[in-house]
Amino acid sequence: MPLTPFHGLAVFFLYFKNKRRIDPLALLASATFIDLEPLYYILIGESLDHQIWHGFALALTVYPVLIAVTVYSVERLFDHKLWSTYTALRIKPPQIKYPLLSIYLCCLLGGFSHIFFDMFTHKSMPYVIYPLFFGNPFYIGQVSGIVEVTVVALALYSVFCWSKTQKLD
């Protein structure tokens, strides 16, 4: 199972490919915040930790809207703090306030990518394509290591893309 930070980093290279259209906050938040659901279920002692939010039905409808509204608000209310955070991380975005459509599309992509990576590595994800099917028909068992290696490779590629921007200064 890909660790939560790797979910965000696995798609973050897209930001470096098109900084004007890809909102870094929206992409990272949407690809990682969905794992608050398993954290909640683990903390309350539930045996099944990947439930309804780890399915395409909510990850492609309600979830991107909630995250997009949150990111849009954060970018407008905390723009100076966000700018200083980006500066500290040396991300160098061309802007802080992205259009709502860009934010929404990044949130859609982040939520989709998270479910896409998880569906191959978690046997207990009964809501992947619910209501069409209950259970996870995409789980690939021992071969799931290939997905995990792919996610790590994509995360390393994102770090490589970030490091290339550091050399340009």
pLDDT digits (tens, 9 = 90+) for 99-152: 999 999 999 999 999 999 999 999 889 999 998 899 999 999 888 999 999 999
55/134 Cα distance (integer angstroms):
10
Beta strands in 9-159 (DSSP E): none
pLDDT at 11: 97
pLDDT at 168: 60
The position carrying tokens 């990947």 is 50
Residue 2 binned pLDDT confidence (cut-offs 50, 70, 90): low
| Structure confidence by residue, pLDDT tens digits, 75-104 | 999 999 999 999 999 998 999 999 999 999
| Overall average pLDDT of the 145-161 stretch | 95
Q: 127: buried, middle or exposed (CB in 10 Å: 19+, 13-18, 0-12)?
A: buried
CA quadruple 24, 31, 133, 127: dihedral sign: negative
Lookup: tokens for 5: 């930070």
Q: 150: buried, middle or exposed (CB in 10 Å: 19+, 13-18, 0-12)?
A: middle
| Structure confidence by residue, pLDDT tens digits, 14-23 | 999 999 999 9
Give the up-direction half-sphere exposure of residue 5: CA atoms within 13 A in the CB hemisphere. 3
145/29 Cα distance (integer angstroms):
25
Please tell me what DSSP assigns to residue 35. G
Question: Taking a C-beta distance cutoff of 8 angstroms, is the pair 150, 157 a contact?
Answer: no
